[in-house]
Amino acid sequence: MRFDTPATRNPIDRLKVIGKPTDRIDGPLKVTGTAPYAYERHDVVPNQAYGYILGSAIATGRIRSMDVSKAKQAPGVIDVVSTLDHKPVPLGEHNTANLFGGAKIDHYHQAIALVIAETFEEARAASALIDVDYKRDDGSFDLEKHADSANLAKGPDGEEMADHFGDFEGAYEAAEVTTDATYRTPAETHAMMEPHATIAHWDGDKVTVWTSNQMIQWGKRDLAKALRIPEEKVRVDSPYIGGGFGSKLFIRADVVVAAIGARQAGRPVKLALQRPLIANNTTHRPATIQRIRLGAAKDGRLTAIAHESTSGNLPDGKPEEAVNQTKVFYAGAHRKVALRLAKMNMPEGNAMRAPGEAPGLMALEIAMDEMAEKLGMDPVEFRILNDTQVDPMDADRPFSRRNFVECLRRGAKEFGWDKRSSTPGKTVDGDWLVGMGMAAGYRGNLLMKSAARVRLGKDGIVTVETDMTDIGTGTYTILAQTAAEMMGLPLERVKVTLGDSDFPISAGSGGQWGANNSTAGVYAACVKLREQAAEKVGLDPQKANFTNGRIHLANKSVPLTDAVADGELVGEDAIEYGDLDKQYQQATFAGHFVQMSVNRFTGVPRIDRMVAVCSAGRILNPKSARSQVIGAMTMGAGAALMEHLAVDKRFGFFVNHDLANYEVPVHADIPHQEVHFIDDVDPYSSPMKAKGVGELGICGVGAAIANAIYNATGVRTRDYPITLEHHLGRLA
Amino acid sequence: MKLEVETPAHLIDVNGLGLDEITETEEGGLRIGALVSNTDLAADDRIKRDYAVLSRALVAGASGQLRNKATTGGNLLQRTRCPYFYDTNMPCNKRSPGAGCAAIGGYSRQLGIVGVSDSCIATYPGDMAIAMRVLDAVVETVGPDGKTRQIPLEDFHKLPGDTPEVENALYPGELITAVILPPPPGGKHFYHKVRDRASYAFALVSVAAVIQPDGTGRVAIGGIAPKPWRKPEADAELPNGAEAVARVLTEGATTTRDNAFKVPLVERTLASVIEQAKS
Ligand SMILES: Cc1cc2nc3c(=O)[nH]c(=O)nc-3n(C[C@H](O)[C@H](O)[C@H](O)COP(=O)(O)OP(=O)(O)OC[C@H]3O[C@@H](n4cnc5c(N)ncnc54)[C@H](O)[C@@H]3O)c2cc1C
Ligand code: SF4
């Protein structure tokens, strides 16, 4: 189904199942521990051996030699796979770090050997017996040191990743009020609960991997490439995923090494990346250094915006695109943006929940707070004044829907923003300095082709098949809701099967594009199924109405099951998009409001309350959407207050590479979170009229917290995380 | 052990020894069996009433699940949280004597500022022992020869000097049987733990204090040294306020860029406690 004109009324608009707060249909499996995750798929193939990965002890250099003989003889060991016995595996499409093979070391904890044994403990113990002789090279590990010499990053076609509109320099020079500051966000690790894990099994020349992956088709493509076999020889299965946040967008060493090991050992191999390996072996959100200059007229209108961000990555890596939202978020002004990239030898930087916007808004939205203060304006009103309904760099390109102002007004009201003192450091409650802060959230809406198959069985059960994934977000449920709505059935009559590369190719889970596109794919398949069903019972497919388990037209009404009297019907289709995302800027918006307390003695910051108002088109399932947003707000709180990968600039690695030393928020850090959705539909996004929320929720939260801490203490911190030492010495 | 930091050839399960009771001593104190869990100890009525600083320190530590399993003896002996200690690719004098110390010159925000040495700047990370130190607790042990010893907590943990691998006064094969608390000290009890997240995190700085109505008292600090950090001269300064106490406790501090904030943080946390004691 081609989607190239705005959606008109369609069966989804009935909202009998869609739009209702619905419990996850996979919830009972999850809470009873019976949803099998990759490492627990004991039943899929017998005789699974355990793998344990050895990570490189150096960040850059070569392996001169590796002696695996002692490990091979250790109790229980079946085989040892050495990186020296393999050529580097070809890289996946979106990746830069070598996953396995060869003597060259690109980064710390790169996988260099796999021990395969009868038990996990035997594999682990044997891995300690491997002797590796390294030649260590010098590397670049200090972003701060290399930032000044970093060049403009290059896009896929070699173009410089910089953009401008009008004359920033002139406008900034002429501006009545200006700000100019540098902000820093640290590297972060995804810290999802389930580690990367894979069971690999060869049947002749065909490999199956039961793994944990967000993007099944990318995984299949990249694994085939890595193993140098045709795609048809690869099957990827990933029905349940214990979080990914971008870390599982791509296959990682676990998949490649398990497959290579299983081939070499002639046995299925099962392994998980050990938690201490994950931070350095996989990808992370790159650190940024961002300079933001704003110019405004005294009346508060922005006249000049410059946002320049520097990040580091491996030599062929990409920059963190922290400036993207700045091109389109606020009105009118002359502007320029630029991304610089320092070549470094730390592990691969890549996507983490809301790549670009998450760190970009952490900086931009403090800058906006600083400008509002300089102007003597309320931060909410300042943003509202600078709202735009068109792309500021192309006035002929409107936003499809932009309820940004409504998010801010509603948020201010729900939060009680009028009680905020605009003078920082003035509100004291016992041992605590209390402050309120807000920030705006923005995240693009991406349209991606997505296919699905729906079967109507003789039992009247509709089964959805797509290689879409549910990374804990509630995808099972919204796909079931979509099929139920389309076929006029209750939710209980729909079964959803996901994550298998034998199913039609979906958009996958990433970039908050999963919900809108994958439900639209099921919509398209259901349209096909409705046609077939209507034809079977002799009704006009264009006019027939599917409700209450029946097909109706005029005064004829037959049970849906009549359509399958001779056997099941199968509808398969994909949603494919025209250029509505080029004609219209499509995005989601939020207003975040936070109250913070800072201990006046110790400087410890604590969150008192958080309110978010989100606008993201139709909210398919308010319950799981809320869960997405509160989870994202929690992650934003982590980014603001504690999360950072600490870099050892001598050895070149992230030091705090386990969950005791890399702190993410716990329940005690997170107070009551209030989430409101603007009641809206976006007919330009898809027949579902929905957009994503999974990343919107994190966008802006960090800055709202930073601004609240400033309001509490009067100390402005521009470096994240905002731990107590930043303001300790400057508290009254 | 999971990280191959320790690879013992033998493990002995001591859980069956029955050292899991809290009994009253003739002197009017309490004898806490080495196998009493952190959860049970924190919840004991006598502890909550007479040694509240200990109860508060315990519940500030780890998580509910860990405290259910953690024992009094084991918690006293927990190892440092220095991240380099747990990464066997990194040089660490504590793990492999003579290898060097990766933390010095590396990432050291969590590490020590007093009592440290050129060979190791790790801290003792626990909470319980900080409170026990302020209570003048005594560790009771039994050796392989059946002889018992009483080691004041003050002497139990060792400063690193040139031998950071020696962390405590136990001889090989010696078992902790109990921790003995002297009679209740009275006064108001405080355990103020400062950390980046509200729970389930080790202290950046913690203050255990028992303060009497006249402003005198005792104070021990966690998170800054290889052992619970207490000085009689600092106790004596309590009536003179936080600055005076902190000056004594952090005298001669050797800080890094990452952990220099711990010096003012000690003072400010003390100030918070002293102010609360007055109210
Ligand atoms: C993620 C995490 C967070 C934590 N946070 C905190 C925290 O905030 N504050 C805090 O204080 N603690 C914290 N802990 C530590 C936790 O409290 C300890 O792991 C626990 O106290 C150890 O007790 P155990 O009885 O399990 O000791 P074990 O781990 O069983 O033993 C520790 C050591 O002591 C030896 N040992 C045990 N009993 C005896 C005995 N009777 N005699 C002689 N030797 C003995 C053992 O051989 C071993 O070498 C944390 C731990 C983890 C994993
Ligand atoms: S501080 Fe101590 S524990 Fe840490 S690396 Fe140095 S020697 Fe090892």
Residue of A642, A651, A666 lying closest to B199 (CB–CB): A666
Domain A398-445+586-731 CATH (choose: 2.40.50.100, 3.40.630.10, 3.30.365.10, 3.40.190.10): 3.30.365.10
Which contiguous run of DSSP H or E holds residue A62? Answer: strand A61-67
CB environment A424-458: b (16+ within 10 A), e (fewer) = bbebeeeebbbbbbbbbbbbbbbbbebbbbbbbbe
Tell me: the pLDDT tens digits for A464-494? 999 999 999 999 999 999 999 999 999 999 9
Q: Which domains, ranges and CATH numbers included, belong to chain B?
A: 188-278 (3.30.390.50)
Q: How far is A347 from chain B (nearest CA, A)?
A: 16
DSSP A664: -
Q: Using the predicted structure, report yes or no on whether residue A732 has a pLDDT greater than 80.
A: no
- To the nearest 10°, the Cα dihedral for A271, A277, A278, A282? -90
Tell me, using a 6 A CB cutoff, whether residue B116 lines ligand 2: no
C-alpha span between A173 and A373 (Å, rounded): 20
Both tokens assigned to A671: 């107070």
**Parallel/antiparallel/unpaired status of strands A390-391 and A428-429:** unpaired
Cα angle for residues B48, B54, B60 (degrees, 5° grid):
100
On the question of a common fold for A2-35+447-582 and A398-445+586-731, the answer reads yes
> Over chain B, what HEC string results?
CCCCCCCCCCCCCCHHHCCCCEEECCCCCEEEECCCEHHHHHHCHHHHHHCHHHHHHHHCCCCHHHHHHCEHHHHHCCCCCCCCCCCCCCCCCCCCCCCCCCCCCCCCCCCCCCCCCCCCCCCCCCCHHHHHHHCCCEEEEECCCCCEEEEEHHHHECCCCCCCCCCECCCCCCEEEEEEECCCCCCEEEEEEECCCCCCCCCCEEEEEEECCCCCEEEEEECCCCCCECCHHHHHHHHHCHHHHHHHHCCCCCCCCCCCCHHHHHHHHHHHHHHHHHC
Q: Which residues of B touch A721 (CB under 8 A)?
A: 196
A599 part of contact set with chain B, CB < 8 Å: yes
Tell me: the pLDDT tens digits for A298-327? 999 999 999 999 999 999 999 999 999 999
Instruction: Please tell me the predicted confidence (pLDDT) of residue A657.
Output: 98
Tell me: the pLDDT tens digits for A1-31? 999 999 999 999 999 999 999 999 999 999 9
- Tell me the CA–centroid distance for residue B208 and ligand 2, in Å: 25
Tell me: the pLDDT tens digits for A124-177? 999 999 999 999 999 999 999 999 999 999 998 999 999 999 999 999 999 999
Q: Using the predicted structure, report yes or no on whether residue A413 has a pLDDT greater than 80.
A: yes
- Tell me the CA–centroid distance for residue A638 and ligand 2, in Å: 27
Tell me: the pLDDT tens digits for A541-599? 999 999 999 999 999 999 999 999 999 999 999 999 999 999 999 999 999 999 999 99
Architecture in CATH for domain A2-35+447-582: 2-Layer Sandwich (3.30)
Instruction: Please tell me the predicted confidence (pLDDT) of residue A17.
Output: 98
The average confidence (pLDDT) of chain A is 97
What fold characterizes domain A49-138+194-281? Aldehyde Oxidoreductase; domain 4 (3.30.365)
Q: Which residues pair with B103 in a beta bridge?
A: none
Give the distance from CA A705 to its chain's centroid.
Answer: 21
Instruction: Please tell me the predicted confidence (pLDDT) of residue A365.
Output: 98
Residues 6+ apart with CB under 8 A from A274: A52, A53, A195
Instruction: Please tell me the predicted confidence (pLDDT) of residue A373.
Output: 98
C-alpha span between B274 and A273 (Å, rounded): 48
Instruction: Kindly report whether the peptide bond that precedes residue A721 is cis, defined as omega within 30 degrees of 0.
Output: yes
C-alpha span between B9 and A439 (Å, rounded): 57
C-alpha span between A107 and A113 (Å, rounded): 15
- Tell me the CA–centroid distance for residue B158 and ligand 2, in Å: 14
Q: How far is B255 from chain A (nearest CA, A)?
A: 14
* Closest residue of chain B to A129, computed from CA coordinates: B4
Q: Which residues of B touch A601 (CB under 8 A)?
A: 268-269, 271-272, 275
Q: Using the predicted structure, report yes or no on whether residue A333 has a pLDDT greater than 90.
A: no
C-alpha span between B222 and B112 (Å, rounded): 10
Could you tell me the residue ranges of all domains in chain A?
2-35+447-582, 49-138+194-281, 398-445+586-731
Both tokens assigned to A35: 């949803």
Which contiguous run of DSSP H or E holds residue A655? Answer: none
Residues of chain B with pLDDT under 50: none
C-alpha span between A545 and A558 (Å, rounded): 11
**Residue having the nearest C-alpha atom to atom 6 of ligand 2:** B101
Catalytic site residues of A? 695
CB environment B16-33: b (16+ within 10 A), e (fewer) = eeebeebeeeeeebbbbb
DSSP string, A209-262: EEE--S-HHHHHHHHHHHHTS-GGGEEEE-S--S--TTTTSS--HHHHHHHHHH
Q: Using the predicted structure, report yes or no on whether residue A332 has a pLDDT greater than 90.
A: no
CA-nearest of A644, A656, A287 to B106 is: A656
Instruction: Please tell me the pTM assigned to this model.
Output: 0.98
Other Cβ atoms less than 10 A from the Cβ of A104: the count is 14
C-alpha span between A595 and A608 (Å, rounded): 5
CA-nearest of A256, A282, A444 to A350 is: A282
Residue of B84, B265, B272 lying closest to A728 (CB–CB): B265
Q: Using the predicted structure, report yes or no on whether residue A233 has a pLDDT greater than 80.
A: yes
Q: How far is A124 from chain B (nearest CA, A)?
A: 9
C-alpha span between A449 and B153 (Å, rounded): 67
DSSP string, A159-210: -BSEEEES-HHHHHHH-SEEEEEEEEE--B----SSPPEEEEEEETTEEEEE
Tell me: the pLDDT tens digits for A246-303? 999 999 999 999 999 999 999 999 999 999 999 999 999 999 999 999 999 999 999 9
φ/ψ of A428, rounded to 5, equals -120, 135
Interface predicted TM-score (ipTM): 0.97
Q: Using the predicted structure, report yes or no on whether residue A508 has a pLDDT greater than 80.
A: yes
Question: How many A-B residue pairs are in contact by the CB < 8 A criterion?
Answer: 90
Cβ proximity of A320 and A356 under 8 Å: yes
- Mean pLDDT on A67-94: 97
Residue of B83, B205, B265 lying closest to A655 (CB–CB): B83
Cβ proximity of A575 and A517 under 8 Å: yes
Instruction: Please tell me the predicted confidence (pLDDT) of residue A581.
Output: 96
Residues 6+ apart with CB under 8 A from A675: A611, A612, A613, A614, A626, A629, A630, A633, A697
Portion of chain A with pLDDT greater than 90, in percent: 99
